Chain A
Amino acid sequence: MTALRGWRIFALLGVTAVFACLPLFLPNDYVLQVFFRIVLFAALGLAWNLVGGYAGQLSLGHVAYFGVGAYGMAMLYAHHVPLWLSVLFSALIATGFAAIIGSIVFRLRGPYFTLSTIAFAEVLRLSVTNLPAAGGAIGLSTPALFPPGAFWKMFYLSAVALAFVSFLVNAWTSRSRFGYYLMAIREDEDTAAAVGIDTANYKLRALMASAFLTALGGGLYGSAFQFIVPDSVLSGEISVQIAIITMLGGAGTLLGPVVGAVLLLAASELFKNKFQESHLLTYGILIVIVVLVLPEGIVGGLKQLFQRKTKPPASVAPLAATPAQGGD
């Protein structure tokens, strides 16, 4: 919804450059790994934002695409597909998955869509857990995308690149007919259809783009941690995390997913050392806060405060009682 004007693009480039330079000054790999996760989840939030934010379709199964990205990369590489091509192909496979599931479930509206995203992701997790070819419950080791020397620096930079691309896709969406159509679908599907929008088709396109970016993130994540099990890259917790990040920051806004990822992951990192598993509690509390106080998220809420004219002031003239320029 925000205009991406000239100076904003420069600001964006500047922020990206600063972020990209950070690893040069970071003291150790642990901190760098934390930053990698933050930026990666910002990218995942931005990818989710296309479907969950602009199009308003609450997906709680995005881990399916994330997992296909990670597992696809590992399994294709094991079958002698070149390393980076296996990352790309697994993202394309995830896009194909999205096309299949989307063309089925986007005929449904409301909670049915959300439920079927959860179901699909769970089916995938259980299948992989019981599939010996995918390592079953034991898991798979993944190929390293970067050499050991600059390992985390390169992963961090890749996450920045993915977040940057995802941001550009969001920025373009917010300023294009495609994005307006998605927002119309979010606000009222009947109205969208009445102005000629093929709602199922546009939701599908948004989901496919989202799945592609999410799977690229899954590939990076899988490779960075060198070993994957169903509970690490196909767990429902990741789906929820992606959705919460975006909703906390502001679904349907450009900066929301970035703000959400920084806040949520930094908070859970800080608390993790003090109370184990407390990040789950953090999510629970944040969900309640978002629903009650900030239904439009932090960025959305701030926008409402400072920018948008929600209601016409009482002083606005009522509609003219007779046409201004004569009837004929």
Chain B
Amino acid sequence: MSTILELRNVSKRFGGLRAVKEVSFTMDSGEILFVIGPNGAGKTTVFNLVSGFLHPEEGQILFRGEDITRSAPHVSARKGIGRTFQIVKPLPSLTVQQNVMLGCFMHTGHLHEAEDAASKILDFLQMSHLKDFEARGLPLAALKRLEIARALATKPKLILLDEVVSGLTTSEALALADLLLRLREWGVSVVGGVEHVMQVVMKIADRVVVLDYGAKIAEGKPADVVKDPAVIEAYLGAKYKEMAH
């Protein structure tokens, strides 16, 4: 399989705070990779760097072999990087379908084609019954799906899902996880970011990258990573590291 995304020693500073420290990882196309880590570990910053909303001070980001380190967000989106936002950002006074159509417009200028394409995506995400409602009235579970639908509508090669299950009940989160597994049918590689809903990660991730204080502390299969002492320490503190052994 070919490499779709590669981060090489990427660092990002906010004033005196190093939010991301020399992070490197690669990802194969078709893979579902989760970036996990405690609150403040730098997950969202990594997503913002990859999608062009932020640019790193050091390091390089390659997407399908092309350097996108300094691409503007709309340029990265057009190259095939879709993203969702941790704090959902729907277009509130537009309907659900119109929200999704905005993604579809990347590939068609015709309203009817965009409507049809949006309907297919809404079917896939099982929210067709909501398509004529304005986004502003929807519950969080639906807004999280709407974020995915809009990103999927741009036909991305890679989709970045920032905290896509946070705030959902366990059953909502697991239902969404089933849908995320099926994103492969759309030819999309997935990078998910999750703080603590480990059930979802264990269920669908091929591989996991663990961040703590902006640095990568572990990487590997989910079942191995959760046994890693460094990961246990990051999540639960040093005391539990000893108990785990």
Given contacts A175-B111, A187-B92, A309-B132, contact A195 B137 (CB under 8 A): no
Closest to B134 in A: A310
Identify which of residues 109-142 in chain A touch chain B, using a CB-to-CB cut-off of 8 Å. Answer: none
B77 touches A196 (CB 8 A): yes
Contact with B along A182-224 (1 / 0, CB 8 A): 0110011011111111110000000000000000000000000
Could you say which residues of chain B place their CB within 8 Å of the CB of A198? Answer: 72, 74
Which of B73, B130, B132, B138 sits near A194, CB closer than 8 Å? B73
Give the docked Cα–Cα distance between A137 and B8 (Å): 63
Which of B53, B126, B136, B138 sits near A323, CB closer than 8 Å? B126
Please tell me if B213 contacts chain A, counting CB pairs below 8 Å. no
B175 touches A191 (CB 8 A): no
Which of A309, A317, A323 sits near B134, CB closer than 8 Å? A309
Please tell me if B83 contacts chain A, counting CB pairs below 8 Å. yes
Give the docked Cα–Cα distance between A180 and B179 (Å): 28
Give the docked Cα–Cα distance between A308 and B145 (Å): 22
Give the docked Cα–Cα distance between A187 and B89 (Å): 9
A312 touches B137 (CB 8 A): yes
B102 touches A195 (CB 8 A): yes
Please tell me if B37 contacts chain A, counting CB pairs below 8 Å. no
Could you say which residues of chain B place their CB within 8 Å of the CB of A28? Answer: none
Interface residues on B, range: 35 or more
Closest to A323 in B: B178
Contact with B along A40-71 (1 / 0, CB 8 A): 00000000000000000000000000000000
Please tell me if B235 contacts chain A, counting CB pairs below 8 Å. no
Give the docked Cα–Cα distance between A197 and B89 (Å): 15
Please tell me if A8 contacts chain B, counting CB pairs below 8 Å. no
Please tell me if B16 contacts chain A, counting CB pairs below 8 Å. no
A319 touches B137 (CB 8 A): no
Give the docked Cα–Cα distance between A20 and B118 (Å): 42
Contact with A along B83-113 (1 / 0, CB 8 A): 1010001111110001001110110010100
A322 touches B105 (CB 8 A): no
A312 touches B91 (CB 8 A): no
Contact with A along B138-169 (1 / 0, CB 8 A): 11011001000011011000000000000000
> Which of A177, A192, A194 gathers the greatest number of chain B CB atoms within 10 Å?
A194
Identify which of residues 273-328 in chain A touch chain B, using a CB-to-CB cut-off of 8 Å. Answer: 308-312, 316-324, 327-328
Please tell me if B172 contacts chain A, counting CB pairs below 8 Å. yes
B141 touches A319 (CB 8 A): yes
Closest to B181 in A: A327
Please tell me if B230 contacts chain A, counting CB pairs below 8 Å. no
Please tell me if B51 contacts chain A, counting CB pairs below 8 Å. yes
Please tell me if B120 contacts chain A, counting CB pairs below 8 Å. no
B74 touches A197 (CB 8 A): yes
Give the docked Cα–Cα distance between A199 and B91 (Å): 15
Could you say which residues of chain B place their CB within 8 Å of the CB of A316? Answer: 129-130
Please tell me if B217 contacts chain A, counting CB pairs below 8 Å. no
A312 touches B138 (CB 8 A): yes
Given contacts A319-B126, A321-B171, contact A309 B133 (CB under 8 A): yes
Give the docked Cα–Cα distance between A191 and B91 (Å): 8
B154 touches A196 (CB 8 A): yes
A310 touches B91 (CB 8 A): no
A320 touches B138 (CB 8 A): no
B133 touches A310 (CB 8 A): yes
Which of A181, A195, A319, A321 sits near B142, CB closer than 8 Å? A319
Could you say which residues of chain B place their CB within 8 Å of the CB of A317? Answer: 129
- Closest Cβ of chain B: how far from A302's Cβ, in Å? 15
- Closest Cβ of chain B: how far from A138's Cβ, in Å? 48
Give the docked Cα–Cα distance between A183 and B134 (Å): 14
- Closest Cβ of chain A: how far from B123's Cβ, in Å? 9
Closest to A199 in B: B74
B53 touches A177 (CB 8 A): no
Could you say which residues of chain B place their CB within 8 Å of the CB of A199? Answer: 74
Between-chain CB contacts (< 8 Å), 19 pairs: A175-B111, A177-B111, A184-B102, A187-B92, A191-B150, A193-B74, A195-B151, A195-B153, A196-B74, A196-B106, A197-B102, A198-B74, A199-B74, A310-B133, A311-B134, A319-B126, A319-B175, A323-B126, A327-B181
Which B residues have a C-beta under 8 Å from some C-beta of A?
51, 53, 72-74, 77-78, 82-83, 85, 89-94, 98, 101-103, 105-106, 109, 111, 114, 126-127, 129-130, 132-134, 136-139, 141-142, 145, 150-151, 153-154, 171-172, 175, 178-179, 181-182
By Cβ-Cβ distance, the 3 closest A-B pairs, closest first, are A311-B137, A187-B91, A196-B77
Other than the known A180-B98, A193-B74, A194-B83, what 17 A-B pairs have Cβ atoms closer than 8 Å? Answer: A187-B92, A187-B93, A188-B89, A190-B53, A191-B102, A191-B150, A192-B74, A195-B102, A309-B132, A309-B133, A310-B136, A310-B137, A318-B141, A322-B178, A323-B175, A327-B182, A328-B182
